[in-house]
Amino acid sequence: MASGPGKEKSVNPVLRISQLDALELNKALEQLVWSQFTSCFHGFKPGALAHFEPEVKAFLWLLLWRFTVYSKNATVGQAILNIQYKNNFSQTEKYQPLSKHQKLWYLILTVGGRWLEERCYDLLSHRQLQSFCRVKHYVNFGAGLVKLCTLVNFLIFLQKGTFATLTERVLGIRSVFCKPQSVRQVGFEYMNRELLWHGFAEFLIYLLPLINVQKLKLKLSSWCLPVAGLCDSENTLAAQGRECSLCGEWPTLPHTMGCPHVFCYYCIKSNYLVDMCFTCPKCGSELHGLQPLKYKIEMTELHA
């Protein structure tokens, strides 16, 4: 809601879950930016960015800060959820944007703090002198104290729901909605279609194993191609054993089932395993037993 010449935007408190979702979206964006950046160096020598990784990350986070908090008073995750930062030090309850000092200190505490932590750990991990060990001890103590304060701030946030991070509490910046949240009209047409389709799919999954699809296909083929309608050439071809009555190809390991028609061994065997009452799709004869077909075909006939 844009503010008019004599009006100011009123603030709207943000739910705790919305603030936490914004933080998770910020982390996901940082991981995505870093993964896309490192993919540009796959052709380089392994470990090319290892020595400058804290500085490169700090530069990337600086760019994100410049185009999010500095220009829009909101991070990427907050912008997605219609949230922005408000200067909580202002005496009025109307919306007040962040000051330049707050934005600069936000950069120092977030980007600078993470860079200092990573760089100090990298430098002090290779030093064995007594003085550096003492500095490392102080740095670890300070990092532990900051983490303890972060935990206390999170517990307070769960109770009051005002400042999700320690940086926000120190700088006095608060998350508010950009405009009032209206009641969302939810349509259930799409959900009803999905539920109906899933119910129909589950019914088919339960029903299809109970139907002998192979036998049904053979029945349909026998109705569409009755025996009386077969031409003499097809009967002669089947009698000569050049065509499987199931697949229509040259029979592999030709077998018969007691009728004049020929089948591939694997075709007839698989159909018999599926249907114990299997009948010939050509003449309707029942399967009494499989017998290998013994015939002699001249090589000239194969090329005829």
- Residue pair 142/149 in contact by the 8 Å Cβ criterion: no
Q: Spell out the SS3 assignment of 19-85.
A: HHHHHHHHHHHHHHHHHHHHHHHCCCCCCCCCCCHHHHHHHHHHHHHHHCHHHHCCCHHHHHCCEEE
Using a cut of 0.85, tell me whether the model's pTM lies above it.
no
Distance CA 233, CA 214 (A): 27
Query: Lowest-pLDDT range, 90-99, 199-208, 231-240?
Result: 231-240
pLDDT tier, 241 (very low <50, low <70, confident <90, very high otherwise)? low
Q: Residue 228 has what pLDDT? A: 42
* Average confidence score pLDDT of the chain: 77
Q: Where are the CATH 3.30.40.10 domain residues in the chain? A: 242-295
237-255: b or e for each residue (b if 16 or more CB lie within 10 Å)? Answer: ebeebbbbbbeeeebeebb
- Residue pair 70/33 in contact by the 8 Å Cβ criterion: no
Q: Which residue has the higher pLDDT, 297 or 24?
A: 24
Q: Residue 268 has what pLDDT? A: 81
Mean local confidence (pLDDT), 79-94: 83
Which residues lie below 8 Å from residue 230, measured CB to CB, with a gap of 6+? 282
Q: Residue 181 has what pLDDT? A: 61
Judged against a pLDDT cut of 90, whether residue 229 lies above it is answered with no
pLDDT 10s digits, 213-228: 666 776 676 666 554 4
As a CATH number, domain 242-295 is 3.30.40.10
pLDDT 10s digits, 39-86: 888 777 777 777 788 888 899 999 999 999 999 889 988 888 888 898
Q: Residue 297 has what pLDDT? A: 47
pLDDT 10s digits, 96-145: 888 899 999 999 999 988 888 887 776 666 555 555 667 777 777 888 89
Q: Residue 156 has what pLDDT? A: 92
DSSP result, 210-243: GS-HHHHHHHHHHHHS-GGG--HHHHHHHHTT-S
